[in-house]
Amino acid sequence: MQHRTLGTQGLAVSAIGYGSMGLTMGYGPGDEEAGIAAIRRAHDLGVTFFDTAELYGWGAGNNEVLLGKVVSDFRDEVVLATKFGFAQTERGLGLNSRPDNIRTVTDNSLRYLGVDQIDVLYQHRVDPDVPIEDVAGTVKELIDAGKVKYFGLSEAGPQTIRKAHAVQPVSVLQTEYSLFERDVEQLFPVLQELGIGFVAYSPLGRGFITGTAKPAGQYDATDMRNTDPRWQPGNFEKNVEAVNRLGRLATAKGITVSQLALAWLLAQGEHIVPIPGTRSAARVEENAHAADIALTEADLAAIREILPTGGFGARYTEEHAPNWV
């Protein structure tokens, strides 16, 4: 497994990471036994970067506890990332990045993960009611106290990134990025200027790019893809055709369409690490081997012809779309 350095503070991780959200939320009922096997297989294959969040612990089960339990045997060999910033309220899910809540969530995450230090602590979503300088300052306190090693942001815009970085250096920005979703590329010059790495979540388009997508309505009632715009009539058929064309290109190279998509992400810059998630140990192996694939200029040109600007349909419904500032 190749490794990459994210940011200028020394954060070194495997070129392919692992996102654990789908083990407990978002994609129908969880499967703890399969999830444990997937995490262990990832470690066996050299994956060192594992991503979770407080948010993923609500509902079906505590994601941080599950991940922490599995990696406890090889804790010193991996980088654990988690996130704060959401809150459960009487009106539903809200935002809370107040300093006192950050401290509380961090202590909870340390306990749930069973660790003495969180390697990467992200603000999960920007809270418009809390100055980002206060957020960064609080994380700086946690870093100084030894509870956190590196600071990350998720779904943040250029002004927010700059203001946070001026208080506490930001090692990494995490935002959705894939063959289907390219908007974040506009932020890459800022990341390069400031020396910030990038983590791509949903690098396989929430599974669409694996070639296994079904139309909205054919998933479990708790599955987020039922309402994802890319799965709706009109968009769905166009995305299926695009994946089929990508699949033919992948087959000609002797790889899978998922490996093609992950190799494409790695080819976009040395500062990028994707974190595909899966409950399948076999899929973990497939994804990990994408780090060994080198795409030619002809391959990249063929991909651009198929999806020049991304997939069809927004990545979130309007009410859930992040607002970058």
pLDDT (mean) for 208-218: 78
150 part of the active site = no
80 in any annotated domain: yes
Which residues have C-beta within 8 Å of that of residue 101, sequence separation ≥ 6?
A: 84, 87
Task: Specify the pLDDT at position 228.
Answer: 79
- Answer with the residue of higher pLDDT: 323 or 262: 262
pLDDT (mean) for 40-63: 86
pLDDT (mean) for 217-243: 81
61 in any annotated domain: yes
pLDDT (mean) for 249-270: 96
Task: Specify the pLDDT at position 300.
Answer: 96
Closest CA to 207 of 11, 27, 39: 27
Q: Report the C-alpha gap between 25 and 44 in whole angstroms.
A: 25
Whether 306 shows a pLDDT value over 90: the answer reads yes
Task: Specify the pLDDT at position 212.
Answer: 80
Q: Report the C-alpha gap between 119 and 73 in whole angstroms.
A: 17
The percentage of the chain sitting over the pLDDT mark of 70, rounded to a whole number, equals 95
Task: Specify the pLDDT at position 60.
Answer: 45
Regarding beta strands 92-95 and 86-89, do their DSSP bridges make them parallel or antiparallel, or are they unpaired?
A: antiparallel
Name which of 239-253, 289-303, 305-319 the model is least confident about: 305-319
- Answer with the residue of higher pLDDT: 25 or 57: 57
89 in any annotated domain: yes
Whether 33 shows a pLDDT value over 90: the answer reads no
Domain hosting residue 51, numbered range:
3-206+268-294
69 in any annotated domain: yes
62 Rama sector, left if φ>0, alpha if ψ -120 to 50, beta otherwise: beta
- Out of 56, 112, 177, 201, the active site residue is 56
Output the six-digit token pair for 28: 């129908």
- Answer with the residue of higher pLDDT: 151 or 277: 151
Whether 57 shows a pLDDT value over 80: the answer reads no
Whether 24 shows a pLDDT value over 90: the answer reads no
Task: Specify the pLDDT at position 322.
Answer: 76
261 in any annotated domain: no
98 in any annotated domain: yes
283 in any annotated domain: yes
219 in any annotated domain: no
Name which of 80-84, 221-225, 309-313 the model is least confident about: 221-225
Output the six-digit token pair for 169: 């250096």
Q: Kindly report the CATH number assigned to the domain that includes residue 43.
A: 3.20.20.100
Structural domains of the chain, count: 1
Average pLDDT, rounded, for the chain: 91
Closest CA to 207 of 194, 218, 198: 218
| CA count, 13 A, side-chain hemisphere, 171 | 22
Output the six-digit token pair for 180: 């289907």
Per-residue pLDDT tens over the stretch 94-121:
899 999 999 999 999 999 999 999 999 9
Q: How far, rounded to the nearest angstrom, does the alpha carbon of residue 131 sit from its chain's CA centroid?
A: 24
- Answer with the residue of higher pLDDT: 88 or 17: 17
